[in-house]
Each structure stands twice: as structure tokens, then as C-alpha cells.
Amino acid sequence: MDMNTSEAIRARRSIRKYQPGAPIPAKHVQQLLEAAMLAPSAVNSRPWEFVVVESSAVKEQLMAAHPYTGMLKTASLAIVVCGRPDLQEGKCGPFWPQDCGAAIENLLLQAVELGYGTCWCGCYPAMERVEALQKILDVTSVPLAIVAVGVPDEQPAPRGFYDPSRVKYL
């Protein structure tokens, strides 16, 4: 599916129903992660790491730890985006949440172009989710979000829109 950035932005949806068991080739997973890692970050610190969860058993654990991740039941995989505040210490302010957010949005838009659906499920700053995920994933980094990825089995209507009342020109 060839689309430009404007089309990808307008086509992106939060998908909560996926075609169960639909395979995602390793090449596509790598493209998603590469797109994420091409995001801008403060002083190019790249304060992130990613955990790709394909295991049904681990997805079950994620669903038990995070109340809004039921879509992982049918998603092909989850990509957990984790922040590395340690990579910014002494270099810049703690901008790792924004930097990881930019990485997530790149990943979401790359997924649309590849024909996949995604759903961004926030973890940080809900520390009970963060701590549960650190144990499940065996990481010391900070789980910022779980991104469900799969072949969409629904076509939700767009929910975003341009609202000129939210813009101030000076």
C-alpha cells in the first residue's frame, strides 16, 4: 500500500479488533522499529528501547497488568515502548516521554502504510502499570506504552478533526 504522509495521518485509527493469528513478517516488524528509531529526540539521545511481544502467554500477562489492552487477545503482537531516562541525565532535561511519543507516532504511521492497524495504550505515568510491566518484561527501563499491532478486523470512523477554536494566531 503506497501512501504519502498526509494520507497515512488521515487513515490512522485506533484498532481494537484484529484478524487473529495474522502473521507479521520480521521484515515489517523491523520497518516499524526503524521508523520509531528515526524519530527526533533531545540532543539525539534516543532514550528508548523496544520489547516485541509475540508470545500469547506474555500478551495475557500484559492484559492482566493493564486494564485497557483487551485488543491484545487478537493482535498479532505488541510492541512495548520503554523510556531510558538514564540516556538523558546530565545532557538535557527529562524529555524522554516526548521523545518516546514521537517514536510511537512514527511507528503508528509506518504501520498504516504497511497495511496494519495499531492501538496505543499508555502506561507511564501510571506507576502501577509501569512496575507491573517492568516485572513481566524483565526491564529496568520505563514502559511508556504498549502498542498493539495486527491486521485490522474493523474499520472505525475517523474521530480526529480540525478544530479552529483550538488555534491562536499571534
Query: Structural domains in the chain?
Result: 24-153 (3.40.109.10)
Quote the pLDDT of residue 119: 98
Inform me whether the pLDDT recorded for 165 exceeds 80. Answer: yes
pLDDT in tens, 62-121: 999 999 999 999 999 999 999 999 999 999 999 999 999 999 999 999 999 999 999 999
Percent of the chain whose pLDDT exceeds 90: 98
- Tell me: cis bond preceding 125? Omega within 30 of 0 counts: yes
Residue 156's φ and ψ, nearest 5 degrees, are -65, 150
CA-based Rg of the chain, rounded to a whole angstrom? 16
pLDDT in tens, 44-60: 999 999 999 999 999 99
Report the run of H or E that residue 103 belongs to, with start and end: helix 96-114
Closest CA to 72 of 17, 154, 151: 17
Q: Is the pTM of this model over 0.95?
A: yes
pLDDT in tens, 20-40: 999 999 999 999 999 999 999
As to burial, measured by CB atoms within 10 angstroms (0-12 exposed, 13-18 middle, 19+ buried), residue 64 is: exposed
- Core vs surface per residue 143-158: b (16+ CB within 10 A) or e: bbbbbbbbbbeeeeee
